[in-house]
Amino acid sequence: MAGPPALPPPRPLAGALWMLGSGLCFVGVNAIVKHLGPGIPPAQSGFVRYLLGLVFLLPMLPALRAARIGAPALGLFALRGLVHTFGVICWFYAMTQIPLAEVTAMGYLTPIGVTIGAALVLGERFAFRRALAIVAALAGALVILRPGFRELSPGHMAQLGTSAFFAASYLMAKRMTDWAPPAVIVGMLSIWVTVGLAPFAAAVWMPLSAVQVAWLFGVAAFATAGHWCMTMAFQAAPVTVTQPVTFLQLVWATLLGALAFGEPADGWVIAGGLTIMGAVSFITWREAVLRRRAAVPPVAATGG
| Residue-wise pLDDT tens digits, 81-140 | 999 999 999 999 999 999 999 999 999 899 889 888 888 887 777 777 888 888 998 999
- Mean pLDDT confidence for 30-48: 94
Q: Is residue 99 part of a domain?
A: yes
> What is the model's pLDDT at position 297?
44
Q: Is residue 221 part of a domain?
A: yes
Q: Is residue 150 predicted with pLDDT exceeding 50?
A: yes
Give 204 or 150, the one with higher predicted confidence: 204
Total Cβ atoms within 10 A of residue 34: 19
pLDDT tens-digit series, residues 188-244: 999 999 999 999 999 999 999 999 999 999 999 999 898 888 878 878 887 667 777
Q: Is residue 301 predicted with pLDDT exceeding 50?
A: no
pLDDT tens-digit series, residues 249-283: 888 899 999 999 999 988 999 999 989 888 888 88
Q: Is residue 248 part of a domain?
A: yes
Q: Is residue 252 part of a domain?
A: yes
> What is the model's pLDDT at position 227?
84
Q: Is residue 300 predicted with pLDDT exceeding 80?
A: no
Radius of gyration of the chain (CA): 20
Q: Is residue 5 part of a domain?
A: no
- Mean pLDDT confidence for 14-26: 90
Q: Percent of the chain scored above 90 by pLDDT?
A: 47
- All residues at 6 or more sequence positions from 92 whose CB lies less than 8 Å from its CB, including other chains: 33, 42, 43, 45, 46
Q: Percent of the chain scored above 70 by pLDDT?
A: 91
Task: Please state the separation of Cα 79 from the chain's center in Å.
Answer: 18
Q: Is residue 303 predicted with pLDDT exceeding 50?
A: no
Instruction: Measure the CA–CA gap between 218 and 210, rounded to whole angstroms.
Output: 12
Q: Is residue 8 predicted with pLDDT exceeding 70?
A: no
> What is the model's pLDDT at position 67?
79
Q: What is the DSSP string of the chain?
A: ---PPPPPPP-HHHHHHHHHHHHHHHHHHHHHHHHHGGGS-HHHHHHHHHHHHGGGGGGGHHHHHH----HHHHHHHHHHHHHHHHHHHHHHHHHHHS-HHHHHHHHTHHHHHHHHHHHHTS-----HHHHHHHHHHHHHHHHHH-BTTBPPPHHHHHHHHHHHHHHHHHHHHHHHTTTS-HHHHHHHHHHHHHHHHHHHHHHT-----HHHHHHHHHHHHHHHHHHHHHHHHHHHS-HHHHHHHHTHHHHHHHHHHHHHS-----HHHHHHHHHHHHHHHHHHHHHHHHHHHHHS--HHHHT-
> What is the model's pLDDT at position 302?
38
- All residues at 6 or more sequence positions from 38 whose CB lies less than 8 Å from its CB, including other chains: 96, 97
- Mean pLDDT confidence for 1-28: 77
Closest CA to 58 of 215, 207, 224, 179: 224
Q: Is residue 40 predicted with pLDDT exceeding 90?
A: yes
- Mean pLDDT confidence for 60-89: 89
Q: Is residue 200 part of a domain?
A: yes
> What is the model's pLDDT at position 63?
83
CB 187 within 8 A of CB 50: no
Q: Is residue 303 part of a domain?
A: no
> What is the model's pLDDT at position 84?
95
| End-to-end CA separation in angstroms for the chain | 17
Crossing angle (nearest 10°) for helices 128-145 and 109-120:
140
Give the pTM: 0.85
Q: Is residue 4 part of a domain?
A: no
> What is the model's pLDDT at position 214?
97
> What is the model's pLDDT at position 196?
97
Q: Is residue 2 predicted with pLDDT exceeding 60?
A: no
For the chain, the domain total comes to 1
> What is the model's pLDDT at position 291?
65
154-189 exposure pattern, b = at least 16 Cβ within 10 A, e = fewer: ebbebbbbbbbbbbbbbbbbbebeeebeebbbbbbb
Domain that holds residue 121: 12-295
Instruction: Measure the CA–CA gap between 108 and 161, rounded to whole angstroms.
Output: 13
